[in-house]
Amino acid sequence: MGTETATAPFLTIAPTQRELGGLGYGNARTRTSIVGIGRVAGEQVAALLDAAPCRLLVSLGYAGALESHLHPGDLVVANAYLHGASAPVPGALHTTRAAMLLRQAGISALEGPVLTVDEPLLSPRAKRRAFYGSGALVVDMEGRWIAEEATSRGVPLIGIRAVLDEAHYPLPSFIATIVADEGRQEWAHALRAMSHPSAVRSFLPLALKSRGASRALQTAVQSILPELARQL
């Protein structure tokens, strides 16, 4: 990593490369990193922030919809990070500014709480229970752990989640295998699951949803990072 990238004011992170909003290895504005799926993401963020502090952390990723009106590609800017019965970690003051910049760019973006879970919610029933139990708009597996590390270090965090699957959409069981492996061999697990007819039927729709969510994250990055850089 070059000096210019190391001194960038932003650190932009995502669980996987596909969720990084089209960013490469960074530039004068932001350095980037893939932090993995689940609790390991918090550990990676802690190490990154301790090694090279930044002025703003931008966290990108996919999420499952819990609110029934959300569709693939819709964006949620987190204003609180939830996990179980623990007290919420509030979003940074930059959250409202980021949502406003997205809307000014003609992008539909909601502010709302994000629920972080330890296991993926595969069924519509599980998503409904999570919604009524938490009031969160979307569910992910990293947001809370990232927020805890950023907050403990006094680093403002903007968390942007693009909806991947609707509240009524059942996810294929191989998603749990991918998560358990922390996303390291995502395509290998998916291809292995193709021996089951039900997985074949669900793979293509999920791939199309993933493409739409990735485009939404890329549009968000292109819309807000330049303006935030000017403000900082």
What is the DSSP pairing of strand 30-34 with strand 109-116? Answer: unpaired
With pLDDT > 70 as the criterion, what percentage of the chain qualifies? 81
* Burial of residue 90 (number of CB atoms within 10 Å: 0-12, 13-18, 19+): middle
Mean pLDDT along residues 190-218: 73
Q: Hey, what are 162's tokens? A: 């693009």
Q: So what's the pLDDT on residue 109?
A: 93
- Say which residues have a Cβ less than 8 Å from residue 85's Cβ, sequence separation at least 6: none
pLDDT tens digit sequence for 176-200: 666 655 555 555 545 555 555 555 5
Residue 20 tokens read as: 């990084």
Residue found by looking up tokens 């938490």 in the block: 134
Torsion sign across C-alpha atoms 67, 70, 72, 74? negative
Residue the block writes with tokens 């993401």: 41
d(CA 144, CA 149): 9
